[in-house]
Amino acid sequence: MSYHLIDIVQKLEHPRLLVLGDLILDRYIWGNAERISQEAPVILLHEERQEVRLGGAANVANLLRGLEAEVTMAGVVGDDIDANQMIEHLEKAGVDCSLLEKDSSRPTTVKERYIGRAQHRHPHQMLRVDREVRTPISGTVEEQFIQKIKSTIENYQAVLISDYAKGVCTPKVLKATIQAARNAGIPVIVDPASTGDCQHYRGATAITPNRLETSRATGQEVESEEMAFQAGRKLCEKLDLEYAFVTLDSDGIALVMKDGSANMYPTRKREVYDITGAGDMVLAMIGVAVAAGVNPPDLAKLANIAGGLEVEQIGVVIISREEILADLLTAGRSIDDKISSLETISHHMQARRNLGQKIVFTNGCFDVLHWGHVSYLQQAADEGDCLVVAVNSDSSVKKLNKAPNRPVFSEDERARMLAALEAIDYVLVFSEETPHAALEQIRPDLLVKGGTYGKEEIVGWEYVESYGGSVKALGIIEGLSSTSVIDRIQSTEEIENPIKSNNVMAPGNNFNMTDRKAG
């Protein structure tokens, strides 16, 4: 996973979003399934507690608050106790409910689940009771609702439509909202209803259908990557979209652009405990990021991470930016990702500090990487949560009065060899004679050096201790250093091929590793 996503998450700020859609109140009744009733062959559930959660579009709003967005909820609820309870939970989460319409002619949508356990075992859902109407909202309510949305649309940086086909997202409401947002230059992202009828989303920026919804909307199966691309192209053309995210559960997200170009963004393998709310989480993550101007490929990558973190939880759980950052910082680090600029690393260090991580720093030439290096770098990694290794550039090595044939390997080769070690999180190449500039930017919690150094002999110790950091010398393996390794190679060459080795090691000649014989 590219480290640049970390910078994106850190720069999201607090965008203002409008969520339009069907609000659902999820009520859970938990209890002990004690026995069979004497009145009928049914299980008796002894109620122990009740729990209320936000569902549907209300859940999207709640998840957005977890991602630190400013959110306004637009929808229609009944004029009943359930609506009051819904609004109470939304407002407690910090959601603006000024665009909610109450309609006494219809109930608030409620899904009531009865969860029972027997003999203290794992609980299971026994029954779900739905209280809802799916008929479209009345013309009068519809018109009032549209006017409210149109009068405030310019206040938002993105609009999210969460359609659960409960009657709020009528063709007229959708058309008016999408057109008003389009006129204002505001992106509109739609999580479509499962019915497959997507024609009323025409003109939106993008939609996020899952495999089944895509199949229903296009009339074609989505069983492969190429099938997803074909379906996405059909959706973009049919609905005049800028792009489409075809979500393919554990396979990831297929992103298709208006021009027909397409890419697959696979998700990494995770332990899946519950897929509930994954679609809402994907929509929320895309919404926050698109409001910040993030490009579609990075929207897909972030959506994969957010949705993946959601399915690792039981039930719908709010995923925070800190959790997304932690996932980015610890998973999928490639060699190219690890080799970073000082500016990038310093930004990432702040993210790690916010997560409570301990940062360890070390530096050196690391020429002719050997077991002594690997051993001490592993020790350094064990001292904290994040290890940054600063490597002297080629010019810096020469300034340190190393032998004329040093470095044996170029700075790029040395950096890439270090980045290949699992223990190392970041590699930085620096050209100064000392690492002071890097220390000032990174401000590690611990500065380490491999060898029999006294504290005062470790370059930068006084600066690190000035802000409360620590300095420590780590153990070494006797007889192992880059110089001793080179001496061993030279001795072997002289014994096996004295003429050739003399030519290689003659004064003024550069040492060439490719001239060494095997063995």
Residue 285's nearest CA partner among 313, 314, 247, 315 is 247
Query: Is residue 431 within 8 Å of 399, Cβ to Cβ?
Result: no
* pLDDT score at 426: 93
Q: Report the mean per-residue pLDDT for the chain.
A: 87
* pLDDT score at 483: 57
Q: Which CATH architecture has domain 14-22+54-108+133-330?
A: 3-Layer(aba) Sandwich (3.40)
Average pLDDT in the 423-434 region?
92
Could you tell me where the beta strands, DSSP code E, fall in 223-271?
Answer: 243-247, 253-257, 262-265
Average pLDDT in the 231-243 region?
96
Work out the pLDDT band at 513, boundaries 50, 70, 90.
very low
Can you tell me the distance from the alpha carbon of 377 to that of 339, in angstroms, rounded to the nearest whole number?
16
Close Cβ partners of 308 (under 8 Å, ≥ 6 residues apart):
267, 268, 270, 327
* pLDDT score at 123: 81
* pLDDT score at 371: 78
What's the token pair of residue 18? Answer: 């409008």
Helix 57-66 with 278-291: angle, nearest 10 deg: 60
* pLDDT score at 367: 82
* pLDDT score at 277: 65
The CATH number of 337-480 is: 3.40.50.620
* pLDDT score at 355: 84
The string of pLDDT tens digits covering residues 295-315 is: 999 999 999 989 888 866 656
pLDDT at 505 over 60: no
pTM reported for the whole predicted model: 0.77
From residue 88, alpha-carbon distances to 53, 60, 63, 92, 101 in Å are 11, 16, 16, 6, 15
Q: List the chain domain ranges.
A: 14-22+54-108+133-330, 337-480, 483-515
Q: Which of 191, 280, 337, 425 is an active site residue?
A: 280
117 in helix, strand or coil?
A: strand
Can you tell me the distance from the alpha carbon of 56 to that of 6, in angstroms, rounded to the nearest whole number?
29
Q: Is 240 a catalytic residue?
A: no
Can you tell me the distance from the alpha carbon of 157 to that of 348, in angstroms, rounded to the nearest whole number?
27
The string of pLDDT tens digits covering residues 185-206 is: 999 999 999 998 999 999 999 9
* pLDDT score at 375: 87
- Highest mean pLDDT among 112-126, 359-373, 480-494 belongs to 359-373
Average pLDDT in the 281-297 region?
96
The string of pLDDT tens digits covering residues 438-463 is: 999 999 999 999 876 778 889 999 99
pLDDT at 215 over 90: yes
The string of pLDDT tens digits covering residues 255-273 is: 999 999 999 998 876 555 4
Q: Specify the range with the lowest mean pLDDT, choosing from 95-109, 112-126, 233-247, 262-276.
A: 262-276
* pLDDT score at 313: 64
Can you tell me the distance from the alpha carbon of 393 to that of 513, in angstroms, rounded to the nearest whole number?
19
The string of pLDDT tens digits covering residues 49-86 is: 998 999 999 999 999 999 999 999 999 999 999 999 99
Work out the pLDDT band at 509, boundaries 50, 70, 90.
very low
